[in-house]
Amino acid sequence: MLGGIDLTKKIHVISIIIVASIFFAMYVNCFTINAQDVLEITGPVDAFEGEEIEFTVTLDGEPIQAKVIFGNSLFVNWTNSSTGIIRFTMPPAPIEDKEYVVKAEVLGGLNANHSILVKNRTGILKIELSTDYIIEMEKFNVTVKDRDEHVIRANVWFNSAKYVTDSEGNVTLIAPDILITTNYGISVNKTGYKSNSTMITINEVDLGLKLMEVIHPSIVEPGVANIEVNVIGKYGSLENVTIEIYYENSKYSEYKTDRKGRVSIQAPSINNDNYFSLYVSKDGYSMYNVEKEITVSLFSRDLGSDLEISLTPSEVYEGDLVKAEVTDDIGLSVEGVTIWKGYLELDVTTDSMGRAEFIAPSVFMDREYHIYAIKKGYNYAESKITLRDRISNLEKLTIEIETVINESEVFYVTIKDESNIPLEEVSTIFNSEEILTNENGTASFTAPNVTIDTFYSVECSKYGYLPSSTSIEVINLDGDVSSRKIQICIAPYVMESNEFTVTIRDDQGNLLSGARVTFMDISLVTDFKGTVTFTAPDINWDRIQEILVTKFAYESTSAEITIRNNEEFQYWYLVLVILIILIIGFIAFFKYGRIV
């Protein structure tokens, strides 16, 4: 028959179980029950994205096993119980440096925090100005930096001119003369860095030398009379402006403007030189352009066919698209005609229909502009267009684009307003090709083949907005392009059902657009920031999933990410307590129990 344990022995067994449970609970909580204990987590204060960084957790200076949370539960893991060390791979920072908090927790509620700055691996050039207030005709310094390091030999573009930073990363610029307070753009670029740009305001302050602008033809016939020249200032026409004509290094004639700021001049007859010069002066005034000498070309007319040019519209705002149509004197379209804006030859010629398009130039005030059509074997044609100033108080267009692309690669340009809203029908020009953005504010281009790494400009304009431009670098792919490597920047862990970002870079750290990233059965293409976003699936247990990346002219690569289950059991120590109690109970039963 089955017997049992007498009352004394039962009490003995129960006492052993209770005492053992108390001692085990004290052992589990011995590190956290003292308020004087100090928990610390140590590690570097900054690191680059993609780097594996080591953190150490200690309690009163001794290593301890602790739960460590990186960011807002971006990564969660446990330190090594004997060393207190844990390692995390830094998350992507595709746009700018980002600070994260790393939190350590131990049983009993004690915790500690540590901050780390995750830095973008590809340097974003920063533009620093020597002054916040820039006035016309004064010098100011521009410093180009990558974080706190000065960048030497960086290209600085300002007022249609290129400058190069010195050994301290500096260039000295001179603000131009202006009629009214005006915005100007400054762009910087250098191979291996992300380009950047900014807008500055140059303030008109009515300095001792006021500004005047000369409206004049740039091409005339030799010896022709009654050539009209107008001189205007901030408040209108300027009287008694001296205009001197020089031909072949000798003074040819001199004129004075009337009350309407006008004067009719006569061109010299052609001898050896096919141009003459105008020198314009008035006490207290200066011309807006740097060159004080105005050059006018002399084009003779012969018995050849005359060109005729019509412009549509005849009155536009600066930055608007102008259409030109060129015919001969019997109305037939003429192909291959060069269009000139003033004395500047444009990089456009008429097509088989005699048509060409160009962007209206910027002006300081409303004024007329001379447009010419020129082709060998024809007499030139001239027309005028009225340009309206609209630069004041306009919103700036923002260009989003990858700053480094490979030759023959398709790339995307996205144009947004200052509220980050995509804009459609924005005229976007790259390598003389113009494309209007679609409803998503995007236009696509194909990079040209280049013999060396080359910078190209991207320009955009839209009615009602301030035109904008930036630069991109086109990389030559000489040699074994298959040896070009791809870097995958991802977090080591992601919780189920959460979104996570994959950032793709080349072996130089440049962001790669157009790379195909495959996760499970989903395949996406990286944007201009080199990123795609996926959502982790629901799972029952932690799982490792492969991410595959492919791109033309690059070696395919893959990486692994761990998908963690949200229902992970965290109270394992309670299971241990119960197991030990059961073991002690069984031992006591078999030791003191008996069969009778």
pLDDT tens readout for residues 148-186: 788 888 888 887 677 888 888 999 888 887 766 777 778
Higher pLDDT, 483 or 163: 163
Average confidence score pLDDT of the chain: 81
Rama region for 336: left / alpha / beta (φ>0; ψ in -120 to 50; rest): left
One-letter amino acid at 349 equals: T
**Nearest by Cα to 449 from 492, 401, 408:** 408
Please state, for a pLDDT cut of 90, what percent of the chain lies above it: 21
Report the CATH fold assignment for 395-475. Answer: Immunoglobulin-like (2.60.40)
Lowest mean pLDDT among 45-49, 165-169, 210-214, 246-250: 210-214
pLDDT tens readout for residues 516-551: 899 988 888 888 778 899 999 988 878 889 999 988
- The answer to whether residue 497 scores a pLDDT higher than 70 is yes
DSSP state of 549: E
Q: What pLDDT is stored for residue 13 in this prediction? A: 62
Architecture of domain 39-119: Sandwich (2.60)
Which token pair is 412? 């995307």
Residue 515's Cβ-count burial label (10 Å; 0-12, 13-18, 19+) is: buried
Q: How confident is the model at residue 100 (pLDDT cuts 50, 70, 90)?
A: confident
Q: Are 395 and 361 in contact (CB under 8 A)?
A: no
As a CATH number, domain 304-385 is: 2.60.40.10
Q: What pLDDT is stored for residue 33 in this prediction? A: 45
pLDDT tens readout for residues 329-349: 899 999 999 998 776 777 789
Architecture of domain 481-564: Sandwich (2.60)
Q: How confident is the model at residue 596 (pLDDT cuts 50, 70, 90)?
A: very low
The total number of residues written for the chain in this structure:
596
3-state secondary structure of 29: helix
**Residue corresponding to tokens 């003779």:** 300
Q: What pLDDT is stored for residue 527 in this prediction? A: 80
CB atoms near residue 299 (< 10 Å):
16
- Looking at domain 125-203, which of 2.60.40.10, 3.40.50.150, 3.40.50.970, 2.40.128.110 is its CATH number? 2.60.40.10
Q: What are the residue boundaries of the structural domains of the chain, listed by start?
A: 7-30+570-592, 39-119, 125-203, 304-385, 395-475, 481-564
Q: 294 CB contacts (<8 Å, ≥6 apart)?
A: 214, 216, 277, 278, 279, 280
Q: 476 CB contacts (<8 Å, ≥6 apart)?
A: 407, 450, 451, 452, 453, 454
Buried b (16+ CB within 10 A) or exposed e, 265-291: bebbebeeeebbbbebebeebbbbeee
Q: What pLDDT is stored for residue 133 in this prediction? A: 76
Q: What pLDDT is stored for residue 325 in this prediction? A: 94
| Helix, strand, coil percentages, rounded to 5, for the chain | 10, 50, 45
**Chain-centroid distance, C-alpha 251:** 52
- The answer to whether residue 208 scores a pLDDT higher than 60 is no
**Nearest by Cα to 440 from 459, 428, 422, 460:** 422
Q: How confident is the model at residue 422 (pLDDT cuts 50, 70, 90)?
A: very high
- The answer to whether residue 1 scores a pLDDT higher than 60 is no
* One fold for 39-119 and 481-564: yes
